[in-house]
């Protein structure tokens, strides 16, 4: 379990609770009232609230909270496959597994712990996994909440196999928005993307910003380390920083597809948007003993700044 710096001892807490299925959840808090909740089911962040108690992540009202079904919402860990572009089930198996708390993880840089509440989780390949994905691995995930309320996820995948293996990956991040028609994304202009609605056709973004009028499912290639999601109605901007994740996935199912999804409300597409830090176009290959690290940092700020300030917002990332 993670620890706090000394000054946090009387102001913040890390708590382990159980959901109605008896599965552990870890609650992280900071001194100003922000919080995050992580379930051992899938190693999934299922809540991230700011200091006002406002929920920043979307979860469907029809989400199925029963193992091994993945929950529709929060931040899902898609590993070792993203989407259906492989032999495994949609988005791989990590999001369906029960993770464990890692009491003694290999060290990270000291700045990954100072002024943060955090928890370390661990997933190892099981005998069942090896039957349909024959590669031994250790997946370590740290989730931390800073004194400023920023949410950070660090994934470390180590190959403990006797031969190389490759995988794709994404932090499948469901953001809560006021109205999808009032939202735009900045930072992906002029980039090439794969249109997953048109057989992964390679196209180039033409707009000054990404806005939404219909279903969208795109993988932006070689995207910048920082992008922004601006919610005009709520006057909130999500700043999304990433490292080790060259691609960015943008997804909203819109009305027709929403009606085909049993764990998603017909009108819920209006209040959510997925923007994922990912490694999809070029899968990650690890030799025996090698380790890959992928980082995601989410910040929610008032929308009173311009895109040029994004690098400042991602300080310390």
Q: 309: annotated binding-site residue?
A: no
* Alpha carbon distance 21, 226 (integer Å): 37
Kindly give, in sequence order, each residue whose CB lies less than 8 Å from that of residue 307, ignoring residues fewer than 6 positions away. 186, 187, 228
Phi/psi at 131 (5° precision): -70, -35
Return the HEC string of the chain: CCCCCHHHCCCCCEEEEECCCCCEEEEEECCCCCEEEEECECCEEEEEECCCCCECECECCCCCCCCCCCCCECEEEEECCCCCCCCCCCCECHHHCECEECCCCCCCCHHHCCCEEEEEEEEECCHHHHHHCCCCEEEEEEEEEECCCCEEEEEEEEECCCCCEEEEEEEEEEEECCCHHHEEEECCCCCEEEECCCCCEEEECCCCCECCCCCEEEEECCCCCEEEEEECCCCEEEEEEEECCCEEEEEECHHHHHCCCCCCCCCHHHHEEEEEEEEEEEEEEECCCCEEEEEEEEEEEECCCCHHHHHHHCCCC
- Is 218 one of the annotated binding-site residues? no
Strands across the sheet with 192-195, in order? 14-18, 24-29, 35-39, 44-49, 75-78, 165-176, 272-286, 247-252, 216-220, 192-195, 201-204
Establish whether 72 is an annotated binding residue.
yes
Give the annotated binding-site residues for substrate.
72, 90, 95
Give the annotated binding-site residues.
72, 90, 95
């Amino acid at each position: 379990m993670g620890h706090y710096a000394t000054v946090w001892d009387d102001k913040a807490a890390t708590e382990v609770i159980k959901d109605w299925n008896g599965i552990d959840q870890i609650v992280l808090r900071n001194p100003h009232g922000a919080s995050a909740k992580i379930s051992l089911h899938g190693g999934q962040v299922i809540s991230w609230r700011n200091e006002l108690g406002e929920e920043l992540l979307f979860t469907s009202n029809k989400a199925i909270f029963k193992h091994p079904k993945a929950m529709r919402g929060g931040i899902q860990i898609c590993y070792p496959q993203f989407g259906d572009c492989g032999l495994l089930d949609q988005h791989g198996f990590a999001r369906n597994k029960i993770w464990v708390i890692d009491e003694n993880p290999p060290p990270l840089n000291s700045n990954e712990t100072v002024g943060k509440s955090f928890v370390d989780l661990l997933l190892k390949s099981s005998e069942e996994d090896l039957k349909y994905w024959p590669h031994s691995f250790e997946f370590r995930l740290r989730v931390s909440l800073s004194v400023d309320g920023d949410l950070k996820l660090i994934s470390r995948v180590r190959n403990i196999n006797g031969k190389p293996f490759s995988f794709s990956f994404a932090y499948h991040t469901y953001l809560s928005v006021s109205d999808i028609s009032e939202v735009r994304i900045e930072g992906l202009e002029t980039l090439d993307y794969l249109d997953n609605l048109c057989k992964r056709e390679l196209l180039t973004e033409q707009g000054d910003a990404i806005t939404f009028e219909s279903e969208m499912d795109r993988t932006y290639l070689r995207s910048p380390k920082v992008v922004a999601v601006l919610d005009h109605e709520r006057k909130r901007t999500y700043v999304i920083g990433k490292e080790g994740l060259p691609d960015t996935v943008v997804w909203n199912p819109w009305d027709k597809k929403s009606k085909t999804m049993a764990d998603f409300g017909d009108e819920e597409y209006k209040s959510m948007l997925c923007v994922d830090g990912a490694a999809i176009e070029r899968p990650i290959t690890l030799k025996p003993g090698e380790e890959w690290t992928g980082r995601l940092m989410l910040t929610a700020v008032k929308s009173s700044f311009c895109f040029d300030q994004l690098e400042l917002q991602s300080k310390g990332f």
